[in-house]
Amino acid sequence: MPAPKIKHAKLFWLGFFVFMFLVLAAHVVPVYAASTSTPALSPSPAFDVSRSNATTTKEIALTFDDGPYGTSTAEVLDILEKEHIHATFFLIGKNVEEYPALARREVADGDLIGNHSYDHSKKLATLSQSAFELNLLKAQLAIVSNTGISPTIYRPPYGLLSDAMHKVLVKDGFHTDFWTIDAEDWNYPKSPSALIIKDILAQAKPRAIILFHDGRDTHVDYPRGNLVDALPTIIDDLKKEGYTFVTVDKFTR
Ligand SMILES: [Zn+2]
């Protein structure tokens, strides 16, 4: 009899599809559940520009730490203005209190400002979450009250980022920024301008984030002439190589 055979075939295929559905569901559902579960408190890995995007767009970011810092910051701002480019400044809260007009000029010039702690202490990475948060927000208050801008980016002094710091930064909505090229200009005796120029140009590549220092911790009158002398040549040579200058928030993170 043909009819029962067809019926059996139909039942076989129906059973097969139900079986396959159950197999797939068993595999897919846990993956979906895992991907949508609440993330653990531990923050995502630090931003690594070298892995974030393989673009070859010749964009590069100049960043300046430890200011504002008297005449050297003013000289850097004059150079940026003359070159018609913008940069990112990571400010020390205590220095903002010392030189509020310079911090305001950075904002007025269209540069991006970030938080670089209140006093650049080497102990920041050893502090509890609450003690670190106090330092972070003290710097934030100095910056906001003097510029009207509340930064959303933070660069840890010495690049030292503890788990406690990272948790607080994530909780308070900060993006942590590092760098990819260190000019080592902070070390005045060992970094004359010619060496800074040579090193930066040798390492420059698309999406690089260059670390300079328009200040030096909370020191007073630390010489910054090596940077100020090197900067115009670095900018001009990078322009000749086809680079455009962006603030760090323009990069895909
Ligand atoms: Zn610093």
How close is the Cα of 85 to the center of ligand 1, in Å? 22
Going from the Cα of 11 to the center of ligand 1, the distance in angstroms, rounded, reads 72
- Which pLDDT score is estimated for 220? 75
Ligand 1 centroid, distance to 188 Cα (angstroms): 15
Could you give the CA distance from residue 144 to residue 212 in angstroms, rounded to a whole number? 23
**What is residue 205's predicted lDDT score, i.e. its pLDDT?**
96
Question: What's the gap in Å between 242 CA and the centre of ligand 1?
Answer: 29
**Which residues carry out catalysis?**
65, 213
Q: What is the pLDDT of residue 10?
A: 54
**What's the confidence (pLDDT) of residue 187?**
87
Tokens 């509890």 sit at which residue?
Answer: 128
Query: How far apart, in whole angstroms, are the C-alpha atoms of residue 3 and residue 106?
Result: 86
What per-residue confidence (pLDDT) applies to 217? 84
CA of 176 to the centre of ligand 1 (A): 14
Phi, psi of 149 (to 5 degrees): -105, 135
Give the pLDDT of the chain (253 residues) as one tens digit per residue. 444 454 455 544 544 454 444 444 443 333 333 333 333 333 333 444 444 454 578 999 999 999 999 899 999 999 999 999 999 999 999 999 999 999 999 999 999 999 999 999 999 999 999 999 999 999 999 999 999 999 999 999 999 999 999 999 999 999 999 999 999 998 888 999 999 999 999 999 999 999 999 998 888 778 899 999 999 999 999 999 999 999 999 986 6
Provide the pLDDT for residue 55: 59
Report the phi/psi class of residue 181: left, alpha or beta, with left for phi > 0 and alpha for psi in -120 to 50.
beta
User: How far apart are the CA of 94 and the centre of ligand 1, in A?
Assistant: 12
Cβ contacts of 127 within 8 Å, gap of 6 or more? 135, 162, 164, 165
183 in Cβ contact with 200 (< 8 Å):
yes
For 157, which DSSP code? G
